[in-house]
Amino acid sequence: MFSSNFTTALKAGRAFSWTNATYDYDAADTILLVANTHTGGWKLNIERVDITSDTATQVDIHCPAYPTLAGTVVTGVNLNRDASDTAVALAYCDETGNSQANVINSFKVVANTPTIVELPEIRLGYQKCIAVDFVTAGTAGWVTVWGYYSTS
């Protein structure tokens, strides 16, 4: 369930999702990292992460220090399909520039079973990140990060 703040942002064209392309991932891979790059003071509020892996694995959601980003670019999708705003964020799948730090959630998932993780609205300021790592190697993994921008 999304918050009323998320719904308000969606109507205003400020709610986004980021989803990685499927790839054959290694053990301890950062499947997806999203970093707020808005220089005007807007916060990127993360409310939910959806996860699926073809392998039972431990998942670590963490907030690393802003790295030199590397990997495959992921473009944020504006969830208000009538809005033309783009996400002021950098996102990468198979991200290799970060070091895991500040773990905020760690849990295990069953193979081929979608898992929804509702977060207590993680607020990311300028150059703050959220990342999702899978501990066990697999051949197909997906992560979707759901978030919205706010001025406070």
CB-based contact 87:16 (threshold 8 Å): yes
Q: Which amino acid is at 74?
A: V
Report pTM.
0.96
What local confidence, expressed as pLDDT, does residue 121 receive? 82
What local confidence, expressed as pLDDT, does residue 127 receive? 97
What local confidence, expressed as pLDDT, does residue 1 receive? 79
Q: What residues contact 125, with CB distance under 8 A and at least 6 apart?
A: 36, 43
Per residue of the chain (152 residues), give pLDDT as tens.
Answer: 799 999 999 999 999 999 999 999 999 999 999 999 999 999 999 999 999 999 999 999 999 999 999 999 999 999 999 999 999 999 999 999 999 999 999 999 999 999 999 998 899 999 999 999 999 999 999 999 999 999 98
Nearest to 6 by CA among 133, 144, 136, 121: 121
Q: What residues contact 21, with CB distance under 8 A and at least 6 apart?
A: 72, 74, 93
Domain-wise residue ranges, the chain: 4-43+62-139
Tally Cβ neighbours within 10 Å of residue 138: 19
CB-based contact 74:19 (threshold 8 Å): yes
Q: Which amino acid is at 120?
A: P
